[in-house]
Amino acid sequence: MSLATDLRLAFPAPHPAGRPFIAGGLAVLVLGLLLAAWLPFAGWWLARLGLIFTLFCLFFFRDPNRVPPPRPGAIVAPADGRIVSVSMAVPPAELGLDAAPRWRVCIFLSVLNVHVNRVPISRTVTKIAYRPGAFVSASLDKASEDNERNALALRLADGRDMAVIQIAGLIARRILCGAREGQQVTGGDRFGIIRFGSRTDLYLPHGIQPIVCLGQTMVGGETLIAELTT
């Protein structure tokens, strides 16, 4: 493995959503350095703040490449983070799916996790529905019902549906989704990002049981959550 490859793995490029924040931090850094010539104390403090903010944004918006497992029917984690709930639940009403409970896996993303969301399986996006809401801590179970969210429904080849829900957290104020209704998506591909702490819920198709457990750490686009059965 080359040095360039090692560096890309250790310091992945930031997601495009982070570029305005990184640019703003760099601007504050430069302004502080220029100001230091006339007001050394204020200028250096401003430069330090700009540097710290820039480094934080480079870390938070990091967007590493991921390699999904080459297994037919593999359903992978839609996000990095820790599983805070594995239970039976009804998908959000705005997706128009049936009201029968199905397995739901909830992943909490702390500010230290990669926040890029990934497609759990190669299928067709049938519906995308945004719903405004509250901003309670994403680690709480009620966040699935109360918080601002963006929901995607995926249709499987056999007609069954599954759903991925992007949920804002306590300090998250922007959910970004690049998927479109009718789009054919590939498992492991990026489809969005949630800024500054969040949660991602995965509703499995009927008849599919998760093979993960409470407290387990997920790697988005790689960790196997379940497998389709015929």
Which residues are the active-site residues? 198
Say how many C-beta atoms besides its own lie within 10 A of residue 219's C-beta. 16
Q: Are 90 and 101 in contact (CB under 8 A)?
A: yes
Q: Which are the contacts of 60, defined by CB distance < 8 A and separation ≥ 6?
A: 18, 111, 115, 196
**Cα–Cα distance for residue pair 205/98, rounded to 1 Å:** 11
Give the pairing type, strands 123-131 and 184-185.
antiparallel
Residue type, 133: G
Q: Are 198 and 177 in contact (CB under 8 A)?
A: no
